[in-house]
Chain A
Amino acid sequence: MDKPGQGKEQIYTLLKNTAIVCGIFSILVCIIILLNYLQLRSANPLNSLKLEELVRLYRENPGDEELKKEIRELDLLIRKAFFTQRWHIQTGGYLFVAGFCLFFASISVSRLLKKKAPRPAEDPAPEKIRISRFLSRVGISVFAGCLFIITLILLYSSDKILLTPGEETGAADISAREYPSEEELFSNWPSFRGAYGNGIAGAGEYPVEWDGKTGKNILWKTEIPREGFNSPVVWENRVFLSGADESAREVYCLDAGSGTILWQVRVDDISSGSPDFPEVSPDTGYAAPGITTDGTSVFAVFATGILVCLDFDGTLLWKLDLGVPDNMYGHSSSLITFRNMLYVQYDRADKAELMAVDTANGNILWKTKRDVLTSWASPLIVKDNNRSEVVLNANPVVASYDLSTGKELWKIDCMMGEVAPSPAWGCGYVYATTQFASLVAINPETAEIEWEYYDDLPNVASPLAFDPYILIAANYGVVTTFDCRTGDVLWVQEFDEGFYSSPVYANRNVYLLDMKGRMNIFQLSGEYVSVNSPELYEDTVTTPAFSRGRIYIRGKHHLFCIGGGE
């Protein structure tokens, strides 16, 4: 150890004394700051009870000059104290930091001066190492155990309200409401593929001749502001459809007589900049799901998972955020209602379910979990004297649920791939199909497949069933017609263009719109008899709407209304 010289010793003492002084100084400043801090907390002018009390008193005796003076003095005092204390704390903070720095600096330097020679460490004895390692293992285990115990305590004291379901909501008096009759449903076109989603128009004469170029029989043609692959729906003198892009989602209402847009309502949902904004493929878009109406309100859902209900004047009645669906192309299952319930087929990649929403208030009445992959098909309602169910098509099952309770009635494992065609109902069978699987005729009584067919299957267009026929239209233009009971092929016809639009039966004819805007009209019979094939000269992928002798076709940009023809 080398001895420090006289000067060094003096510096050392000086530093040591500085350190002591600075230390005491810092501690004092620190205490003053703490006191000030606590005082500031209690003497905040924001909640000076005394002042408030005086003001209240003054209100009761407005003329009291004495009181007024007191209030003004107190107010000034409080404000002064507040800002002075702030200043104290601020200045104190700087003083403290300065003192603190000096303290540590002098201590560090003094230690440098009186540096002790390094001490050699002890020999690492194997026994010691072993004990230390043993203790480490015990320590880690105990520590981990303590953390688990803390978690358990937190669990015990945690709020479990989110885990306990509340009482059933939505038990509103549904008997008091009035619902449209079956006749009304068929004379209108309330949803994608008409009443019950089965592709069959109500009775009436429908035009078979028109021309998009000359305008023959085209009553009106209106440009739709935003694109959408949903099909128009019609109720009396109103036509509804929706359109959307990345920036906005909108619902449109057009006058069926003139084609003017009566209203368009923007649905305030998540903006394209917000979390989880979905990505969709361009051929699906943000407005692929068909909208629907129950005769008093109109319901629309978008790829963003926002479900809205508007009345016929465009006023928002309720809105439901279903959560952004995990869907690689974009959600596209259409909506459909029956009595008080709106059915939403919400088959997402992460969670598939069918839900029924109360049309009156947007309460979810029930949800049924489904064990299927993402589906782009739409629900079909089967309603007659014997059956009352909603049928859904998805990979891998075609399944049916009770209309009022959502209980699963039957399911058949027969689909594969990406399912977009919706099921159809006729001759007592449910028909379902998709490309790469098969066309199946399912007897819902026995829940068995009656017959199956494997060629020229559609990948988007839904089958059309009308006793005693069923026909399918492949996306590459091949149409096949079968005997609906036996599955015998009656005829196969190849067309120039393919089909995304679903065939519709109206007035003994089948109307089948190809992708280029040509309407193939042919008889629904045992052989192929073409009636006409008028052109629209605008690309088409949606299914037309048929109501009261008029046909409404949504092209890429316009909505056409076709009528007359006599």
Chain B
Amino acid sequence: MEKNKMNRREFFKKGLQALFGLAIAGTTGFSLFKTSATETVWQIDPDICIQCGRCAENCVLSPSAVKCVHVYSICGYCDLCSGYLRTDPKELSTGAENRLCPAGAMTRRYVEEPYYEYVIDESLCIGCGKCVKGCSAFGNGSLFLQIRHDRCVNCNECSIARECPANAISRISSRNPYIMKGAKI
């Protein structure tokens, strides 16, 4: 009698064990239908980005893994750069009273009359997007924010994406990990 009971218990346990195993395997197997060979990384779509400045504050890294990127092929090389200077500057000098970047990460270099080159020092850039805002509002939009993958730790849930009011951040294939402007040019 006692032995019988044990057997029944064993049988019950085995059954449950198999069932649980199958459930886990099934769940995983089903989700495996949706697996991809290529992995994904977080990236900002510059066409959706509204330059609200949250990227600078919400990244788990400090400073943020979001940096301003400059695509030179669409830059107008203006003297009066709306990404570099505050709106309505008193003079086109590089002094702090005219400069837009709060971190002093953007430098300006004379190329030839009347063109100036603007370069971003990534180690100083904090990803606030002030220059991006200026450039997209009045310029060619050659400055824009991108998540830099040498810094990004690829969190399971990106804490900037969660806070992004425009839903501009999503996972894209790690084979093409940047959404660069001016790719069509």
Task: Decide if A and B touch, CB cutoff 8 A.
Answer: yes
Given A59-B90, A86-B62, A86-B63; A46-B102 close (CB under 8 Å): yes
Name the interface residues of B34-82: CB closer than 8 Å to any CB of A: 53, 56, 62-63
Q: Which residues of B contact A71 (CB under 8 A)?
A: 95-97
Q: In the complex, which residues of chain B have a beta carbon less than 8 angstroms from the beta carbon of A75? A: 96, 99, 104
Across the interface, A45 reaches (CB within 8 A) one of B53, B62, B103, namely B103
Interface residues of A in 57-72 (CB under 8 A from B): 58-59, 62, 68, 71-72
A419 part of interface (Cβ distance < 8 Å)? no
Determine which of B53, B86, B90, B96 lies in contact with A72 in the assembled complex, contact meaning CB atoms within 8 Å. B96
State the majority secondary structure of interface residues on B.
loop
When distances are taken between beta carbons in the complex, the residues of chain B under 8 Å from A54 are 97
Asked if A76 is at the interface of the complex by the 8 Å CB criterion, the answer is: yes
A58 touches B97 (CB 8 A): yes
**A75–B100 CA distance with the chains assembled, in angstroms:** 11
Complex-state Cα separation, A82 to B102, whole angstroms:
11
Residues of the A chain whose Cβ atoms lie less than 8 Å from the Cβ of B99 = 75
Q: Are B95 and A55 in contact (CB under 8 A)?
A: no
A512 interface contact, C-beta 8 A: no
Q: Is B145 an interface residue (CB 8 A)?
A: no
Q: Is A46 within 8 A of B56, CB to CB?
A: yes
The reply to whether A45 and B96 form a contact with Cβ atoms under 8 Å apart is no
Q: In this assembly, does A89 line the interface, its C-beta being within 8 Å of a C-beta of chain B? A: yes
Tell me if A55 and B97 are in contact (CB < 8 A): yes
Alpha-carbon distance A510/B53, docked complex (angstroms): 68
B86 touching A55 by the CB < 8 A rule? yes
For residue A79, CB closer than 8 A to chain B, the reply is: yes
Assess whether B97 is in contact with A45, with CB atoms less than 8 Å apart: no
Report if B126 contacts A (CB, 8 A): yes
B90 proximity list for chain A (CB < 8 A):
58-59, 62
Is B128 interfacial (CB 8 A cutoff)? yes
Complex contacts, B62 vs chain A, CB 8 Å: 86, 89
Bound CA span A75–B105, Å: 13
The listed residue with most A CB atoms (<10 A of its CB), out of B56, B96, B104, B128, is B96
Q: How far is the CB of A272 from chain B (nearest CB, A)?
A: 15
When distances are taken between beta carbons in the complex, the residues of chain A under 8 Å from B86 are 55
Complex contacts, A68 vs chain B, CB 8 Å: 95, 97
**A46 lies within 8 A of B128 (CB):** yes
The distance in angstroms between the C-alpha atoms of A89 and B62, with both chains bound, is 10
- By a CB distance below 8 angstroms, the chain B residues around A83 are 124
- Min distance, Cβ A224 to any Cβ of chain B, angstroms: 28
Docked complex Cα distance between A68 and B98 (Å)? 10
With both beta carbons as reference points, the residue of chain B lying nearest to A59 in the complex is identified as B90
- Known A-B contacts A46-B53, A59-B90, A86-B62; the reply to A72 vs B103 at CB < 8 A is no
Q: A72 with B95: in contact, given A46-B53, A55-B86 (CB under 8 Å)?
A: yes
A46 proximity list for chain B (CB < 8 A): 53, 56, 102, 126, 128
CB-defined contacts of B96 to chain A, threshold 8 Å: 71-72, 74-76
Would you give the shortest CB distance from A199 to chain B, in whole angstroms? 45
Whose C-beta in chain B lies nearest to the C-beta of A57?
Answer: B97
Residues of A close to B103: CB separation below 8 A:
45, 79, 82
Cα distance A79–B99 when bound, in Å? 13
Do the beta carbons of B97 and A79 come within 8 Å of each other?
A: no
- Within 8 Å CB of A48, what residues of B? 102
Q: Which residue of A lies closest to B93 (CB)?
A: A68
Give Cα A45–Cα B148 distance, bound, in whole angstroms: 22
Q: Scoring B residues 91 to 116 as 1 if CB is less than 8 Å from chain A, else 0, what string do you get?
A: 00001110100111000000000000
- Contact A72 to B63, CB < 8 A, known contacts A46-B53, A79-B104: no
* Binary CB contact string for chain A from 26 to 49 against chain B (1 if under 8 A, 0 otherwise): 000000000000000000011010
Closest to A72 in B: B96
Q: How far is the CA of A103 from the CA of B95 in the complex (A)?
A: 49
Task: Give chain B residues whose Cβ lies under 8 Å from the Cβ of A74.
Answer: 96
User: Measured between alpha carbons, how far is A86 from B56 in the docked complex, in Å?
Assistant: 14
Q: How far is the CA of A62 from the CA of B95 in the complex (A)?
A: 13
- Say whether A45 contacts B95, CB under 8 Å: no
CB distance from B31 to the nearest CB of A (A): 16
Nearest residue (CB) in A for B98 is: A55
Closest to A68 in B: B97
Instruction: Report the minimum CB–CB distance from B137 to chain A (whole Å).
Output: 18
Give A58 to B96 CA distance when docked, in angstroms: 11
Residues of B within 8 A of A89 (CB): 62
Q: How far is the CB of B54 from chain A (nearest CB, A)?
A: 11
Cβ distance B94 to chain A, nearest Cβ, rounded Å: 10
Min Cβ gap B96→A in Å is 4
B53 / chain A contacts, CB cutoff of 8 Å:
46
Nearest neighbor of A40 in chain B, beta-carbon distance: B62
A83 to B63, CA, bound (A): 9
For B124, the chain A residues whose CB sits under 8 A away are: 83
* A72 close to B56 (CB less than 8 A): no
A82 to B104, CA, bound (A): 12
A45–B102 touching, CB < 8 Å: yes
Q: How far is the CA of A97 from the CA of B126 in the complex (A)?
A: 26
Q: Beta-carbon contacts of B16-47 to A below 8 Å, as 1s and 0s?
A: 00000000000000000000000000000000
Report the separation of the CA atoms of residues A59 and B63 in the bound assembly, to the nearest whole angstrom. 31
A253 to B148, CA, bound (A): 46
* Chain B hits for A45, CB < 8 A: 102-103
20 new A-B pairs (CB below 8 Å) besides A76-B96, A82-B103?
Answer: A46-B53, A46-B56, A46-B102, A46-B126, A48-B102, A58-B97, A59-B90, A62-B90, A68-B95, A68-B97, A71-B95, A71-B97, A72-B95, A72-B96, A72-B97, A74-B96, A75-B96, A75-B104, A79-B102, A79-B103
Mark B residues whose CB is within 8 Å of A.
53, 56, 62-63, 86, 90, 95-97, 99, 102-104, 124, 126, 128
Which 5 pairs, one residue from A and one from B, show the smallest C-beta to C-beta distance? Answer: A75-B96, A45-B102, A72-B96, A71-B97, A62-B90
> Could you write out 22 A-B pairs with CB less than 8 Å apart?
A45-B102, A45-B103, A46-B53, A46-B102, A46-B126, A46-B128, A54-B97, A55-B97, A58-B90, A58-B97, A59-B90, A62-B90, A68-B95, A71-B95, A71-B96, A72-B95, A74-B96, A75-B96, A75-B104, A79-B103, A79-B104, A83-B124
